[in-house]
Structure 1
Amino acid sequence: MFRNYNFKKYDIFLILIVIALVSFGIKAIGSATQINSDGSTYVRNKQLFGFIVTFALMIIISLIDYHFIGKFYWLIYAFNIILLIAVLFLGVKVKGAVRWINIAGIQLQPSELSKIMMVIFLAKYIDKNKEKINNLLFLIKLGILVIIPTLLIYKQPDLSTSLVLLVILVVLLFVAGISYKYVLIALAIAVPLFFGTVWYMQQPDTVFSDHQVERVMSFLYPEKYDTMQTDNSIQAIGSGQLNGKGWYKGTINKYNYLPEPQTDFIFSVIGEEAGFIGCSIVLLLLLFLIIKCLWIAKDSIDLFGMLIISGFVAIISFQTFVNVGVTTGLIPNTGIPLPFISYGLSSLMSNMIGIGVILNISLHRKTTYY
């Protein structure tokens, strides 16, 4: 479980990037939920406390051999499914969605933890069956194992997070060396299916919920649908110009024109109050985080470690693209947190666990660098 590590390989730079991102996020959350001029809000302080706790958790996990964690991959998968099923029966309804459960007085969002649990499970499962990566029966079995939690998350409803699990699967299969034959077959199915789904959503009486259909239609036909949320978000980002209006001085955010400014639209708050420079700093920090993780993956001693990091990078990259894409009007409106920046203790815990595992992988890597 614990080993005598060479702590010269402990990646301090990765930790500093995470601290910088979360610090920026806490500042933005304080501004997004401001009650008074100094931003001393309950939500900001709760996120700060959550960071302190999850940072300690990250350090502890970083000292546990990731191969030891991998031994429990089926248990991790089962625990994931149990939590997601518990949401259906014991979930707390917030703003029309049932995504949270209360455990010992703590409100937890299992779908957020599901992402990192599925990364560990899939990485180990694929690693143990790497010789079957191009076996059709194995791929079908793998697909079923991913579809189960995906559908459970979709029923909450949480379409964006369920898509994250599919992205993780695709990335891990690609990294594991799946044949391009299957890649081409998948594209041949996915592209027509995508356009067919868009067409189907425009028909009456679809299986999709009204708000899901409206979000897609408002993106395709903005002149016919209410696009106030997206318009306000773009206006907030643009109004910040180069340097921003200053923290706690964003008028669009201050007068509640942004929906969920501390979570889904946190990037809009940063754009208005920290300007183009603030937005660039956040995106560069996330880019540095991704590059640093991929650099560690390059020197990983085995496929298991490489797949874990690749899955985590897939989560960070996809969520960043979707969150920023929504706030800038590039893609349809959907709720997904900006990693390490948006408010949400479950999301923060999931990300910090991921960093902890990656730090342990870095302790096993082939080379020492700073």
Structure 2
Amino acid sequence: MNVKRLGEMDFPLLLSAVALIILGVMFVFSAGVTSTGDIVSTEYIRQIIWAVLSIVVCLVLSLVDYRRIYDFVEYIYFFFLLLILYTAVFGKVVNGARAWLGIGSFGIQPSEFMKIATILYLAKYLDSSGREADETHRFIISALIIFVPVAIILLQPDLGTALVFIPIFLFMSYIAGIRLTYILYVAFFIAGTGILTVLPLWQSYILKSSYPFINALSNTKVDFLLIGLFAIICVLSIFGYLRYRKRYFYWIAYIFSGLAGSFLFSFIARHVLKEYQIMRLLVFLDPSIDPRGAGWNIIQSITAIGSGGILGKGFLQGTQSHYRYLPQQSTDFIFSIFSEEMGFIGGIVLFLLFLVILIRCTTLMKTTSDPFGSYVASGISAVIFFHFVINVGMAMGIMPITGIPLIFLSYGGSSLLATMIGIGILQSIYIRRFEH
């Protein structure tokens, strides 16, 4: 390792990340203080330890040539795949999901590191398959690399973490030049699955009336009849396309395969996910449908953000958090505490720090001479962007509650360490961006 190369790092990227980590430690501390000034949580101490460790790991990784791991990414991917599978069976249950491994109060969440492993493996595949003539084959293999860990994580069940893999796939596929119709197909499939999953609860809690089509979604026989019908139409359309080469057969197969998949996976989701997890996807439309449950979180979060005003109430001066109205305030709703105490101006600063990170990631994607490095950068930027947009939107009540933390700020060692591993890899790519 040549320590002198630290001077070649992307300092706007590093300093923005460190600034966010410091803010995270401050507001994890704030989340553990009561209205009387008593400190009721030591989470901030553990967060400081994780923060120091994460920054050190980031600096070390920046000195390591990221290209050295190219030949080992398959082993890294399958190791963490086995680890999350083991976790789904033998892990600790926290907040309703068997997603943790650990002893006592110490634990790690392997699925956080699975994100980085998946990005590396998918980046290698997209790089090595770039000259393949069969683009459909390239798309299918890429989808399998993503959706195998997604399926295992959903078994835990951890919907929030599973969702993060979707933008990884979409961003990296787009950067790798996979046909846009394929990428839109995945978006159509995911949107269809989400809508069909929440429709029964939407009917019960918001419409408060009965519709035969929606009722049919709760009937297993009808579900499988529709899935079978759509699958048959899809198969016949594929046969027609291969036999007659008519474009409309392609589009019929495109649409009905998406419908069949959406019905199938929505059926699985309704039986794997717990009702409160599905309710979280629904309640942002109308928090009043569950004011003491999932709706309570949104109502209190919006109240906290609104009470901060322009300049905020000041550090440790928030009321919603210190009177313990906000649930999970050191993790999912840390942005609510930050906004209450730092106000609109503080929120703008926070947005700018994330913007700097995303701009630096985008610039790196364009400037690096190595396609593998470019794909890795796109995957890591997808994770950061998705976490930020969903968590902040969730806190503001404009996105469903999915349990996705605010990256860099929320309490959690696994999330922070995995993120800074990603930043370290980005620094390694940046330092060697012009090398061949």
The alignment's TM-score, normalised by the length of structure 2, stands at 0.78
Where do 1:276-315 residues align within 5 Å?
276-315=344-383
Q: Tell me the distance in 1 between the aligned counterparts of 2:169 and 2:4.
A: 31
For residues 49-128 of structure 1, the aligned pairs below 5 Å read: 49-102=49-102, 106-128=106-128
CA distance in 2, matches of 1:104, 1:67: 37
Say if 1:5 and 1:299 are closer, same or farther in 2 by CA, change over 3 A. Answer: farther
Query: What is the deviation of 1:89?
Result: 2.8
Distance 1:4 1:212 in 2: 47
Shift, 1:44, TM fit: 0.8
SS in 1 for 2:99: strand
Q: Does 1:132 align with 2:132?
A: yes
Q: Does 1:34 align with 2:37?
A: no
Does the 8 Å contact 1:241/1:272 carry over to 2?
A: yes
Matched, 1:272 2:271: no
Partner of 1:218: 283
Change in CA separation of 1:16 and 1:151 when aligned onto 2, cut-off 3 Å: same
Offset, 1:134: 5.5
For the pair 1:242 / 2:310, whether they are aligned, the reply is yes
Q: 1:133 to 1:77 in 2, by over 3 A?
A: farther
1:262 aligns with 2:330: yes
- The amino acid that maps onto 2:11 is I
**Unmatched 5+ residue regions in structure 1?**
none
Q: Which whole-Å CA distance do the structure 2 matches of 1:37 and 1:340 have between them?
A: 25
Correspondence for 2:392 among 284, 309, 324: 324
User: SS of the residue aligned with 1:98?
Assistant: strand
Matched-pair identity in %: 34
| Structure 1 pair 134–311 and aligned structure 2 pair: CA distance change class (3 A) | farther
**1:79-99 deviation line (CA, Å, top 9, x unaligned):** 111110121232111232211
Higher mean C-alpha displacement, 222-231 vs 180-189: 180-189
Partners of 2:386 and 2:359 in 1: how far apart? 15
Contact 1:217–1:225 under 8 Å retained in 2: no
2:284, 2:298 within 8 Å by CA — same for their partners in 1?
no
Greater CA radius of gyration, 1 or 2? 2
Is the CA contact (8 Å cut-off) linking 1:323 and 1:337 kept in structure 2? yes
1:123 deviates by 0.8
Shift of 1:290: 0.8
Q: 2-side partners of 1:191 and 1:50: how far apart?
A: 36
Q: Aligned pair count?
A: 366
Matched residue SS, 1:252: coil
Structure 1 stretch 267-276 or stretch 140-149: which is displaced more?
140-149
What's the CA shift string for 1:102-159, capped at 9, x where partnerless?
Answer: 1798411011111111111111111111123852123222222221110111111111
What are the ranges of 5 or more consecutive residues in structure 2 without an aligned counterpart? 203-214, 220-269
1:134-173 matches, cutoff 5 A: 135-173=135-173
Alignment partners' CA distance in 1, 2:153 and 2:163: 9
Amino acid at match of 2:58: M
Task: After TM superposition, give the deviation of residue 194 of structure 1 in Å.
Answer: 4.5
1:19: how far off?
1.2
**AA aligned opposite 2:426:** I
Which structure has more relative contact order (CA 8 Å, sep 6+)? It is: 1
> Structure 1 or 2: larger helix share?
2
What is the rounded CA distance, in whole Å, between the counterparts of 1:360 and 1:100 in structure 2? 29
What residue identity is the alignment partner of 2:131? E
**Two-structure CA RMSD over aligned residues (Å):** 2.3
Are the counterparts in 2 of residues 153 and 159 from structure 1 also a CA contact under 8 Å? yes
State the 1:221 CA deviation. 4.0
